[in-house]
Structure 1
Amino acid sequence: MPAYASSGRGPGGRVRGGTQAHRHDRGAEEAAQQVPGGAPGARMRREIEIGRLLDGHPHAMPVLDSGADHTWFVMPWADATAVQRQELLREPAELRALVHALASVLAAAHEHDWLHRDIKPSNILYFDGRWALADWGIVRRPRGQTTKAGRTGHF
């Protein structure tokens, strides 16, 4: 994983902030999430997979980079969460923009039969002048797919 300064802890692992100037014209700030102890996890694998699936959607938080072993991934650093912008969201136009963004990205995920399952203000991020939905770690995969082959039906 690229070197980043520690910024805190998320439910799926450690969150770090930093920049990678060699990958961006202006050295944009990024956030990296890493599985504790570096052990690959189904949560991180799902988050990377859905991030790649929704790549390019304006309201899905993009996955910029990830480890082949699924122990870390990098996304843009958000300006704020919906919690941090709650006063602004009292304005009808601001709230409408947030609801439109969520409906748009959820419709795109649902077209592929993926369900987010963890929509909350701290997972709704504002960056680059728009709202994006993040933290797809407990997403439900399309029916018939499992994180680990043979996980169900064999007791």
Structure 2
Amino acid sequence: MRASPFRSALLLAFAATVTSIAAAQTDAQKKLEQPPQLERLDDADTPITVSPNKSRETTTNVQRQNGRITQETVHAGGSTYTVKPNNATGTALPGDASGTGIRGAQWTVMEFDIAKKQKQRSADAAAAAENAEDAPPPPPPATTR
């Protein structure tokens, strides 16, 4: 039986692939045997300074009515949130279809202090009045004939 040229080309390609794989494996093994080349780094002259984080103090205000907690306000870092219990209304029980699920926290987004602004305005008005007493009187209006 005669070998076809296709079979011989296929065998040659297979042999070339096997030899290239074997060569790649030996190159990889040689690289693994050699230790990696390390560079020497100079020590830094600048000292390392570590600054403490802002205090993360947490304060809580608990409001109770007849011994039961009705509301709890938490101030943590720069944020404030309020947690209230999930009281079922009527005859609904937790987990019922008519009952309510979990009650999430209410985050305080912005607070307005109107009394503080009014105090600031009155203080500014008092300072302006003191400055007005020290200033010379304005000149009389000019008359034209």
TM superposition score normalised by structure 2:
0.21
Structure (1 or 2) with the larger CA radius of gyration:
2
Higher helix share goes to which structure? Answer: 2
Q: Which has the higher contact order (CA 8 A, sep 6+)?
A: 1
